[in-house]
Amino acid sequence: MSHEHEVHARQQDGVLWITLDRPDSRNGLTIPAADRMTDLLTAGVGDPDVRVIVVTGAGGAFCSGADIKYATLNNIPPDAGLAAFQRFVRALRASPKPTLAAIDGAAAGFGADIALACDLRLASDRARLGQRFVGIGLMPDGGSTWLLPRIVGLGRALEMIYSGRMIDPQEGERIGLFNLTFPADAFTERVQAYAATLALGPPLAFAEAKRAVHATYSDFDDALQREAEGQLRLLASQDFAEGVQAFIAKRPPSFQGR
């Protein structure tokens, strides 16, 4: 079955929009969706008419993270899903063109990781971003153990990871998590205007500047590998099973450290 309808692409004024559209799961991420987003991003990087790339979600949500229900029903091995998701954040990081996360609604779990892997995060006034992994006994696995401390600082990063709380636009802008915030009722237009202005800038200079900035922080791939190893251990734990059961039953989990 084709999953192309779950990810849309459109191009306007040098700006490529990649939109995740899976309303039944608040834009939960699947392997087909992640692969298509990676393919569209790669094509955009190779298209000289594309100067800026925007990643967003449809229907008042950015991305709720991995679609656990989809993975369970289709018997998707955890390592396969993780590999597909990490390919997308690697592609975002490697893009020589500016990447913007347009966050309207919730960005949770791997959805937060996608937003953090973008160069800039533009939020609507109803945006929320959080590392929700701990709620089901897991850890971040999309590069956030590397990215988040560099964006908000070590203490704030650990507090966000430990608590799993969602950060609102006011706090997000104050701590540097969000670069700009716009009203939800004009969000797409304001992001497009910002991105189109950025698209008028010098692409070679942007690419060299991004390369130089990233070179000051090494070992992103090593961080992804460490996260994958740790997450696969956690996925085999009784605490993860308890976390999922509690989530489905809508009750607090009782973690036992096993």
Give the phi and the psi of residue 12 in degrees, each rounded to 5.
-150, 125
pLDDT digits (tens, 9 = 90+) for 200-220: 998 988 998 898 888 777 677
Mean pLDDT of 23-44: 96
In this structure, is residue 223 part of a structural domain? no
In this structure, is residue 257 part of a structural domain? no
Mean pLDDT of 114-120: 98
**In the predicted model, is pLDDT for residue 49 greater than 90?**
yes
pLDDT, residue 80, reads 82
H helix and E strand count, the chain: 11, 8
pLDDT digits (tens, 9 = 90+) for 50-77: 999 999 999 999 999 999 888 888 888 8
CATH number of the domain residue 81 falls in: 3.90.226.10
In this structure, is residue 132 part of a structural domain? yes
Grouping H, G, I as helix, E, B as strand and the rest as coil, residue 23 is helix
Lowest mean pLDDT segment, chosen from 2-16, 85-99, 228-242: 228-242
In this structure, is residue 240 part of a structural domain? no
Q: How many domains would you assign to the chain?
A: 1
Quick one: what percent of the chain has pLDDT higher than 90?
Answer: 67
Residue (of 56, 132, 25, 41) closest to 87 by Cα position: 41
Give me 197's structure tokens: 């202005």
pLDDT, residue 118, reads 98
Alpha-carbon gap, residue 59 to 48, rounded angstroms: 30
In this structure, is residue 234 part of a structural domain? no
Handedness of CA 129, 133, 134, 136 (dihedral sign): positive
pLDDT digits (tens, 9 = 90+) for 132-146: 888 889 889 899 999
Q: Between residues 239 and 20, which one has the greater pLDDT? A: 20
**Strand ranges in 125-191 using DSSP code E only, listed in sequence order:** 128-130, 180-182
Mean pLDDT of 107-111: 95
**In the predicted model, is pLDDT for residue 2 greater than 60?**
no
pLDDT digits (tens, 9 = 90+) for 162-190: 999 999 999 999 999 999 999 999 999 99
Residue 199: how many CB atoms within 10 A of its CB?
21
**In the predicted model, is pLDDT for residue 1 greater than 70?**
no
In this structure, is residue 251 part of a structural domain? no
Grouping H, G, I as helix, E, B as strand and the rest as coil, residue 67 is coil
> Which residue has tokens 């608040």?
26
In this structure, is residue 161 part of a structural domain? yes
In this structure, is residue 77 part of a structural domain? yes
Query: Residue 160: which domain range?
Result: 4-183
